[in-house]
Amino acid sequence: MKEVILVGRPNVGKSSLFNRLAKQRIAITSDVSGTTRDTNKTQIQIDDKSCVLIDSGGIDDSNELFINVKNNTLNAAKCADIIIFMVDGKMLPDDADKKLFYSLLKLNKPIALVINKVDSKKDEERSWEFNEFGASVVFNISVSHASGVDELCEWIYKQLPQANLKFDTDDFDEFLEDFNEQGELDLDNKAIDYENKNIKVGIVGRVNVGKSSLLNALVNDNRSVVSSIAGTTIDPVNESFVYNDRVFEFVDTAGIRKRGKIEGIEKYALNRTQKILEIADIALLVLDASEPFTELDERIAGLVGKFELGVIIVLNKWDKDHDGFDKVAFEIRDRFKFLAYAPIISVSALGGKRIHKLYPLIQEIYQNYTQRIKTSELNALIEEAVRTHPIPRDHGKIVKIFYAAQFGFAPPKIALVMNKPRSLHFSYKRYLLNKLRERFNLNGTPVVLIPKNKGKSETDI
């Protein structure tokens, strides 16, 4: 455990700071110079990290006793890991303080110059005189008024090693019980048999991108009417297909036009399309490789994201050489950043090219979409991620994840039980999602991460 030592001349407030950081009166304090003569140690806690705090005797050369105290203090400083050098802000700096500070700098340890007793504007102005020390880390504090101490603690915290995260199993079990009582936990929900239910696959895209041709190719039948007239399909068309003993229910949805161009009964077709997506598991987002992508393609893709579906991006009418696939895929990734998890496959529905690759891909994504991640593996990953890249603080206050729990399927839904859910920045959430995708097979499926307050029924996000 790291040791933090308070060093300075007599009567600069070392023992007072020691007591405040220890949150109890341990060291004897008085106005009498040299009250502390021996080193005093105690273990303190700064947020989730611990260290040993050492109160040393004041350094003074006035007599033989104080010389012995000085030698004892300097020896302790050599053994310590972090040095807090304290001076009296009511006084001007002197050569003895500077000489002592420079000697401690030579130890090549983290060191902070702490100017105590800064209680007024006049004291703040005087504190500028201590710039001549050339210290890179300086704090103005007033132990008696508790000002500046939090900033000092934050600096000490950064010098300490990352805390060893340990999830409390008892608390975790209690959380699961509470979550279940709130009706949010779906892990043991037998109402939906994900392993045996039919896999519902919605085929979506703008008009005339070849959705009906794709359906016909998938089920090996001319089930949907195909023509070059945009908007031929109005009603959703259902067709089942068995693959590896699993039933795939394909639905060819009506082509979606820009809102201003929705005519007649196509207005109702749009509503029916959205309803199909509400009950679908997987969406085949069909794009036309023979034409430039449009803003409407992006809007339709947004519907897939809105309904949190598993998704495959199907690049139809692909009659080109595969040399250009990487370029087109790059453009798709750039346009549909919110579907970065979706695989891209090129096909030719009319020619039947690469259609066979869709079946195993749909089955794989459905398994990912409905999978249950082991609680122990999930928490081990979160622990490792936080240790590698600690959560940024919120105004100096630590933000901590107590544990994680998957509470739902289709798609995987994971609660992060925290002390400050609102303080989890979206960029850190994205970092955790990336770590999850690196560790587990989540190809083609969204993952829902919900920061949640410990012991509260409502989510605090």
Query: Is 57 part of any known ligand binding site?
Result: yes
Query: Is 281 part of any known ligand binding site?
Result: no
Query: Is 226 part of any known ligand binding site?
Result: no
Please report the pLDDT score of residue 339 as a whole number. Answer: 92
Query: Is 149 part of any known ligand binding site?
Result: no
CATH code 3.90.660.10 for 199-369:
no
Domain ranges of the chain: 3-159, 169-188+372-453, 199-369
Query: Is 170 part of any known ligand binding site?
Result: no
- Residue 458 binned pLDDT confidence (cut-offs 50, 70, 90): very low
- 351-397 pLDDT tens trace: 889 999 999 999 999 999 999 998 889 999 999 999 889 888 887 77
Query: Is 267 part of any known ligand binding site?
Result: no
Query: To the nearest whole number, what is the mean pLDDT of the chain?
Result: 80
User: How large a percentage of the chain has pLDDT more than 90?
Assistant: 31
User: How large a percentage of the chain has pLDDT more than 70?
Assistant: 77
Please report the pLDDT score of residue 22 as a whole number. Answer: 85
Please report the pLDDT score of residue 32 as a whole number. Answer: 41
Average pLDDT (3-30) is 81
Query: Is 14 part of any known ligand binding site?
Result: yes
Average pLDDT (84-103) is 90
Query: Is 56 part of any known ligand binding site?
Result: yes
Distance spanning both ends of the chain, measured CA to CA? 35
Query: Is 411 part of any known ligand binding site?
Result: no
Q: Kindly list the strands in the beta sheet with 111-116, ordered across the sheet, starting from the edge strand earlier in the chain.
A: 40-46, 49-55, 3-8, 82-88, 111-116, 138-140
Query: Is 216 part of any known ligand binding site?
Result: no
Query: Is 118 part of any known ligand binding site?
Result: yes
Query: Is 319 part of any known ligand binding site?
Result: yes
CATH hierarchy code of domain 3-159: 3.40.50.300
pLDDT at residue 265 greater than cutoff 50: no
Please report the pLDDT score of residue 94 as a whole number. Answer: 86
Query: Is 44 part of any known ligand binding site?
Result: no
Query: Is 318 part of any known ligand binding site?
Result: yes
Please report the pLDDT score of residue 411 as a whole number. Answer: 92
- Residue 71 binned pLDDT confidence (cut-offs 50, 70, 90): confident
Higher pLDDT, 357 or 321: 357
Query: Is 59 part of any known ligand binding site?
Result: yes
Residues, the chain: 461
Which is it for the CA torsion 357, 214, 238, 295, positive or negative? positive
Query: Is 335 part of any known ligand binding site?
Result: no
Query: Is 206 part of any known ligand binding site?
Result: yes
Query: Is 12 part of any known ligand binding site?
Result: yes
Please report the pLDDT score of residue 65 as a whole number. Answer: 45
Task: Tell me what percent of the chain is helix, strand and coil, each rounded to the nearest 5.
Answer: 40, 20, 40
| Inter-axis angle of helices 295-306 and 266-279, nearest 10 | 40
Please report the pLDDT score of residue 455 as a whole number. Answer: 57
* Cis before 93 (ω within 30): no
- Residue 284 binned pLDDT confidence (cut-offs 50, 70, 90): very high
Query: Is 253 part of any known ligand binding site?
Result: yes
Q: Which residues have a Cβ under 8 Å from the Cβ of 348 and sit 6 or more positions away?
A: 316, 317, 318, 319, 354
Query: Is 116 part of any known ligand binding site?
Result: yes
Closest to 355 (Cα-Cα) out of 301, 309, 316: 316
What string of DSSP letters covers 6-59? EEESTTSSHHHHHHHHHTS--S---SSTT---S-EEEEEEETTEEEEEEE-PPP
Query: Is 205 part of any known ligand binding site?
Result: yes
Query: Is 408 part of any known ligand binding site?
Result: no
CATH hierarchy code of domain 169-188+372-453: 3.30.300.20
pLDDT at residue 221 greater than cutoff 70: no
Query: Is 58 part of any known ligand binding site?
Result: yes
Query: Is 212 part of any known ligand binding site?
Result: yes
Query: Is 119 part of any known ligand binding site?
Result: yes
Query: Is 117 part of any known ligand binding site?
Result: yes
Higher pLDDT, 266 or 338: 338
Query: Is 55 part of any known ligand binding site?
Result: yes
Query: Is 305 part of any known ligand binding site?
Result: no
Average pLDDT (10-16) is 88
Q: Which of 6-10, 151-155, 295-299 has the lowest mean pLDDT?
A: 295-299
Torsion of CA 16, 22, 24, 27, to 10 degrees: -50
Please report the pLDDT score of residue 436 as a whole number. Answer: 95
Per CATH, 3-159 and 199-369 having the same topology is answered yes
Rounded distance between C-alpha atoms, residue 268 and residue 263, angstroms: 9
Query: Is 286 part of any known ligand binding site?
Result: no
Q: Which helix (H) or strand (E) holds 138?
A: strand 138-140
Residue 308 tokens read as 């949190």
- Residue 174 binned pLDDT confidence (cut-offs 50, 70, 90): low
Query: Is 13 part of any known ligand binding site?
Result: yes
Average pLDDT (74-93) is 91
Please report the pLDDT score of residue 189 as a whole number. Answer: 46
Cβ atoms of 192 and 205 closer than 8 Å: no
